[in-house]
Chain A
């Protein structure tokens, strides 16, 4: 019999109450809950020190020897708005959240939530508001033997600051450990709470100060009490200079100091240990490794979130010639992108593969040379004996596209249980594209022939070679015969490898379906392009990812239960969350752009707009 909704809610609340009741050892604390928070016996009596003058900017308290710093302003206010935010609205509207509310895990969460409020003596969002405060600065600083942590948070008012310190002291006093986990010590004029000799916490006016070492805490306390205004450290200034006005968090990292700590030539590997990694990240690593400061920021709105890294790339100090393959010289030219139906991911980038191959000695570690020599010997057979690095790659333009899309398996009565995405690579030919097209077509046929030899050895169905036409474009490839009763590996069920040439564009796709979609898009002749300066442009469509996760639901749950030891309930819930959350993501973008002598690396999350948005009905699912 189905329980009525109010009854379920009541049961959940009773469960939460029972779970809270399990925390009986904290009852003495519960008795003290409330704004007053009187002291426990044995607890040190500490009176907050008032500063001579409150410093205008907490960053002024930080020492100059910073390795990394993060600053957040107004985080508390954002937390205060959480109960009425669209984020909460989105979360609570998810079908998976409603399912989660019926689970024991939810009861435990609510118990934990209640406990936090009980201990903090205020609602959870108020507590977060108080703790995160108006301004929060945290930094990693150099130390005698190892780096330390320093930071400060400015609370909205003195009463709240007092309250939070009181909570911290009471929690420390209640810990039953031998030797005691806490003590107090007067440092820099402030009575600091010392927790496990690893964390020093103290209060000056409405500012809470913390550090991981005695010396650094005393330094902070002295400056806070003196209230003498001085410029913030250079690293903080660099973080602020690079971050947008509305940044949630501004960060910066001091490259030379990180390098000094790492004890290596550079804090980032200059020569990569594989060619693909070098081709993808080589210029980023090189610029970051030589940048004196790496500023970062997190900013956004209710429907978007952007994390950005800004690497200086001054024209008067260009990268060494070994980095010519990364397309910086041509950054102003438009970078095309493709968006076929069912697109999961589109990846467009500017990379001169021939140059990267030639420069591998500079970009990669020594062992990569042997791997590339082997690849050269093996891959030559796909191009009629032509040399890949010396003859094939130089004939390709530096614009490269990679696309992943969902498959719909048109005309297939029983699609595979696990639907892999279809993938395609698109190059632009530099020279004689007709000849190059023929060679690529031969290469694909050669690859299919090799697949078939392997299939024959396993008594599996072979691919049948075909030459089709779509919109007048010739497609050469192989597909599995529908009437063959022999078994096929699941991944081959998902594939019909093929090649086509549209003008100077050479396309190798894993399925005919995707190939036809790409030909459709390319034939229109109006490809979308990434903004000026783009070197890499990657977009993920959350809604299509959600649909794929739904199609592969059984396979994902089987994986979770059989291979990862998760319960069916947990696996179902996780899968439902994956689908629901992905559906809320309109676009996830990762890009690198060369703008104003800066290489901007940007990870941006764009949510589906709420206003006027209609969410598709969920099919299947638990």
Chain B
């Protein structure tokens, strides 16, 4: 059976650690009380809640500012708006899925230059991201931002531009090695005339190539048919499965795991939401090897920390900080998107993470404000091991290596740590500097 379900009590406990793993993968991490609530509610109820689309009043109100912010010529404000919605959202999986599809279709505002088009594309990912991949791809192929990004308006009957068609096959549906150059040329013909006018998708009849094309042995006419045929190819499900596993479970999925998820995708007719739900409820997902095997991307890391600490911050400035760590929202580096995994960590980006951690702890230009004493509760007064335990549970889900923990406890018990808020801040900064704090 593909993606055999995880049975709490039989395959292992659905305890604080398991709940933490689920909430790091399907959300942006959790606070101790959220994990306790999940454990108490049980796995099915927790999954129901994760797949809810109720984002809450604050996130909805923030999103309602999009038309205003889109009109601003300051692009970082748009980045801040999405990041803020991630922080405020009561439906974090929706945002994580949108982030996943944003990286999948990897469209950059730097070329598109239209804030509102970028926001519309993101809204599309939120709306259709958990539904049928085929339907999402059909909609994405008609998305103005993606068409501009991949030179759709240059694709005319007499001179087909292959950009869109090539990326559709290579990056969006099948992967390298699963199509021929002939397939690309034929697909490009099928998409000729798929243009943008007045900010909307436009079938430019004068540029449409209405002739018959042959793709993967199938005769067809229209670009929509290309998408249907491509997503029915055997390579499509494993291609998508690998990406889902890398985004939500592990940076290095093995072939067996990819095959299991791919089979589930086929069974679910490429409906991503139901497949993901099966994945999050599977033995594969809760296996020890699957836990803590993913480096958190900059946006996920920043949003997670702001949510865990219930911080207030200048969302625009935080979005810019995430960009300095290597992930500029709405502006992936190229058509392949962010590579992820180990590429998130370099000498430059690690310094940027360190700067963010310092800002989180002590405040500064990002406008982050946290009531550290309230956060640490009674342990703020005690210091030492209780303080480290409290902060470890909040910031890194109790994941510290024992040696690291012992050293931080030594510091937290020493006079050098000071007292009161300053001690809490210093210990928090040490915790965030640990490698475990970068892992999801």
Contacts and interface: CB of A to CB of B under 8 A. Distances in A.
A119 B175 CA distance: 73
Contacts of A49: none
A325 B199 CA distance: 54
Contacts of A555: 68
A572 to B, nearest CB: 8
Contact of B369 (A487, A490, A562, A565): A565
A485 interface: yes
A424 B365 CA distance: 37
B435 interface: no
A554 B314 contact: no
B296 to A, nearest CB: 23
A417, A555, A567 — which one has the most chain B CB atoms within 10 A of its CB? A417
A569 B62 CA distance: 11
Interface string A529-569: 00000000000000000000000001101100111111111
B304 interface: no
B67 interface: yes
A566 B113 contact: no
Nearest to B363: A565
Interface string B41-80: 0000000000000000010011011011101110001001
A416 interface: yes
Contacts of B68: 417-418, 554-555, 558
Nearest to B77: A562
Interface in A413-441: 416-418
B71 A490 contact: yes
Nearest to A559: B77
A565 B77 contact: no
B114 interface: yes
B251 interface: no
A563 B77 contact: yes
A493, A555, A561, A572 — which one has the most chain B CB atoms within 10 A of its CB? A561
A555 B74 CA distance: 13
A619 interface: no
B67 A568 contact: no
B72 A418 contact: yes
B93 interface: no
B199 A485 contact: yes
Given A418-B68, A485-B199, A555-B68, A565 B312 contact: yes
A412 to B, nearest CB: 13
A489 B314 CA distance: 24
Contacts of A487: 113-114
B198 interface: yes
B274 interface: no
B73 A490 contact: yes
B183 interface: no
B368 A565 contact: yes
Interface residues of B, number: 31
Given A489-B73, A562-B84, A568-B58, A557 B312 contact: no
A418 B114 CA distance: 17
Contacts, number: 67
A495 to B, nearest CB: 15
Contact of A557 (B65, B67, B313, B315): B65
Given A418-B71, A418-B72, A568 B62 contact: yes
Contacts of B72: 417-418, 490, 558
A562 B71 contact: no
Contacts of A485: 197-199
B367 A565 contact: yes
B88 interface: yes
Nearest to A487: B114
Given A487-B113, A554-B65, A558-B68, A564 B73 contact: no
A338 to B, nearest CB: 31
B67 A563 contact: no
A562 B114 contact: no
A182 to B, nearest CB: 24
Contact of A565 (B113, B199, B314): B314
Nearest to B199: A485
Contacts of B314: 562-565
Contacts of A557: 65
A561 B73 contact: no
Contacts of A417: 67-68, 71-72
B81 interface: yes
Contacts of B312: 565-567
A205 B343 CA distance: 78
Contacts of A558: 65, 68-69, 72, 77, 81
A42 to B, nearest CB: 27
B332 to A, nearest CB: 21
A571 to B, nearest CB: 10
B316 interface: yes
B71, B77, B313, B368 — which one has the most chain A CB atoms within 10 A of its CB? B71
Contacts of A493: 71
A561 B69 CA distance: 11
Nearest to A570: B312
Nearest to A552: B68
Nearest to A565: B367
Given A555-B68, A568-B62, A562 B113 contact: no
A416, A489, A557, A568 — which one has the most chain B CB atoms within 10 A of its CB? A568
Interface in B69-107: 69, 71-73, 77, 80-81, 84, 88
Contacts of B199: 485
A323 to B, nearest CB: 43
Contacts of A489: 73
17 contacts: A417-B67, A417-B72, A487-B114, A489-B73, A493-B71, A554-B68, A558-B68, A561-B65, A563-B314, A564-B367, A565-B313, A565-B366, A565-B367, A567-B58, A568-B61, A568-B62, A572-B61
Interface of B: 58, 61-62, 64-65, 67-69, 71-73, 77, 80-81, 84, 88, 113-114, 197-199, 312-317, 366-369
Interface of A: 416-418, 485, 487, 489-490, 493, 554-555, 557-558, 561-569, 572
Closest 4 CB pairs of A and B: A565-B367, A417-B68, A565-B314, A562-B80
Given A417-B68, A561-B65, 8 more contacts: A485-B197, A487-B113, A554-B68, A562-B81, A562-B315, A563-B77, A567-B58, A568-B62
